[in-house]
Structure 1
């Protein structure tokens, strides 16, 4: 790199981002919609895996599950309407 020359990252960081358009048919809006659907898909996958992991934990630690069930039953019995 020559004297006075800046690295590409520093130069690129100073470029202001393009202003978003308000029209819904722009490619940015399509990317946003796609990223929203991708985010929802990733979230659904995460929740499925989380539920599966909880079920596995319940199967391999039955004593803990039974104790939690008993605590929940006690809470329900002592709950006042």
Structure 2
């Protein structure tokens, strides 16, 4: 039967598919952030400032 694959092959295919979906999601997320920044520059700037403040006050 064709769907009787080795477990390692199936896992590698699942991992590759998961990585493709994750890469697509991250691309769309970055695109949405860029769009939001263009549409609402003041709010995006405030969000960047808050993030910068969080990073400055973070203790290693």
Question: TM-score interval w.r.t. the shorter chain?
Answer: 0.5 to 0.7
What residue number does 1:36 align with?
15
Q: CA deviation at 1:72?
A: 4.5
Paired residues, number? 53
* Residue deviations 1:24-65 (CA, integer Å, cap 9, x gap): xx5222111101100001001100000000000010001102
More helix by share: 2
Extract structure 1 runs of 4+ deviating beyond 4 A: none
Larger gyration radius, structure 1 or structure 2: 1
Gaps of 5+ in 1: 1-25
Question: Which fold has the larger relative contact order, with Cα–Cα distance below 8 Å and residues 6 or more apart in sequence?
Answer: 2
* Residue deviations 1:7-35 (CA, integer Å, cap 9, x gap): xxxxxxxxxxxxxxxxxxx5222111101
RMSD: 2.2
Q: What is the TM-score when the length of structure 2 is the normalising length? A: 0.68
